[in-house]
Amino acid sequence: MHIVLFRIFMLCLTFGFVTPDTKSLDDRIFALKTAPRDNDLIIVNMEFFEECILSSPRNYSFVLLVGTKGASCDHCKPAIAALSNVARQWNRLHPNSLEIFFGFVDFMYNLELVRLLQVKTAPFVLFFGRHASIGDCDRTSHPQIVATPALIAAWISKVSDINIEAAVSRDFSILLPIACVLLFCAVLKKFAWLRNTKFIASLCLTFICSMCSGLMWVVINSMPFVALQDGKVVYFYPENRAQFGCECLLIVLFYAMISGGLIFLTTKCSKFRKNTFMYSIRVLVGVGVAVLGFNQMAEYYTLKAGYLPFHFSFL
């Protein structure tokens, strides 16, 4: 009788108090998010592969490129560049997404893992779905596919049912002839506004504010204007390492408020010194705009860094 009661008690403990290991999945996701990266690709070794790619439960997919950065593989460099392009574009459009990850394993230093994957050529791309194992993962080593960003993105989209895109570089070559034509017209005095000092000063100030806002970085890295995350429009990149196009416009606006307020103070207020009321109003407007722009810049800094650069805020 005591033995039966003891067994019933143990069964109750087993089914009532033992819960699934939910921390293991959280640990894997944390490892994926904090893993060292090179060109937006997670550096994978045998230990990481067993812990984050083979283990279950797994609610994410993983794209793994087998290659090397050594001189022994001429086709590996374009393949690494292609998958890095796709991974970078995915991270831009889907910041902090846990749906799919991209990694790279150097076969020169991970021969045991390469044997486990049964890979005999390089570069080689493997796709591990949420429930895929080594035996049933999708594979491709087609030279044109693995070395072309658009083609490897299309292949991943096909095998994963996830919309994967490749980044496309912008071409601003048309700006050079336009600038030459405008400069030529300015020399010939065809357009009077091109020789207006206020217009040139405003143009230079706009250019400086645009460059200071990170516009060049956004253009070089083909960052989107905004992003869609979990059905919501994201205007700010949640980390301080990157920014969207919308953020550039906001920073330009803040710079314009600061510089515009100071310019207004120095050029428009002095004319009304004899009229105390109008002079005071204009001074308040100029100071208010400049201070508001500076404060909003500090608020933006807080969104990116997580703390204010000073101990109080005006808003």
Kindly report, residue by residue over 152-192, the tens digit of the pLDDT.
999 999 998 899 988 877 666 777 787 787 777 777 766 77
Residue 81 vs residue 203, higher pLDDT: 81
Q: How many residues does the chain have?
A: 315
| pLDDT of res. 56 | 75
- Per-residue pLDDT averaged across 277-294, rounded? 86
- Per-residue pLDDT averaged across 51-68, rounded? 88
Calpha distance 42→221 (Å, rounded) = 19
| pLDDT of res. 41 | 93
CB 48 within 8 A of CB 35: yes
| pLDDT of res. 39 | 83
Indicate whether 40 pLDDT > 80.
yes
| pLDDT of res. 11 | 43
CB 248 within 8 A of CB 214: yes
Least confident piece of the model among 95-104, 158-167, 271-280, 305-314: 305-314
Tell me: the pLDDT tens digits for 68-124? 987 678 889 999 999 999 998 888 778 778 899 999 999 988 989 999 998 988 899
In the chain, the amino acid numbered 122 is A
Indicate whether 239 pLDDT > 70.
no
Residue 62 vs residue 216, higher pLDDT: 62
What residue has token string 């980390």? Answer: 239
Share the mean pLDDT of the chain.
80
Q: How far apart are the first and last CA of the chain?
A: 73
Indicate whether 312 pLDDT > 60.
no
The residues spanned by each domain of the chain are: 25-160, 194-305
Read off φ and ψ for residue 127, nearest 5 degrees. -115, 120
| pLDDT of res. 256 | 87
| pLDDT of res. 157 | 93
Read off φ and ψ for residue 36, nearest 5 degrees. -65, 140
- Overall pTM > 0.75: no
Residue 54 is given by DSSP the state I
| pLDDT of res. 124 | 93
Question: If DSSP codes are grouped into helix, strand and coil, which group holds residue 272?
Answer: helix
Which residues pair with residue 132 across a beta bridge? none
The C-alpha angle with vertex 133 and arms to 129 and 137, in degrees rounded to 5, equals 60
Query: Which alpha helices (DSSP H) does the chain contain, by range?
Result: 2-17, 22-34, 46-48, 76-93, 111-117, 143-147, 149-160, 175-187, 197-212, 215-220, 245-267, 276-305
Least confident piece of the model among 8-12, 258-262, 273-277, 287-291: 8-12
- Per-residue pLDDT averaged across 123-131, rounded? 90
Interhelix angle 245-267/276-305, nearest 10 degrees: 160
Residue 163 vs residue 15, higher pLDDT: 163
Calpha distance 113→136 (Å, rounded) = 17
Residue 261 vs residue 238, higher pLDDT: 261
Yes or no: domain 25-160 corresponds to CATH 3.40.30.10? yes
| pLDDT of res. 69 | 86
Indicate whether 151 pLDDT > 90.
yes
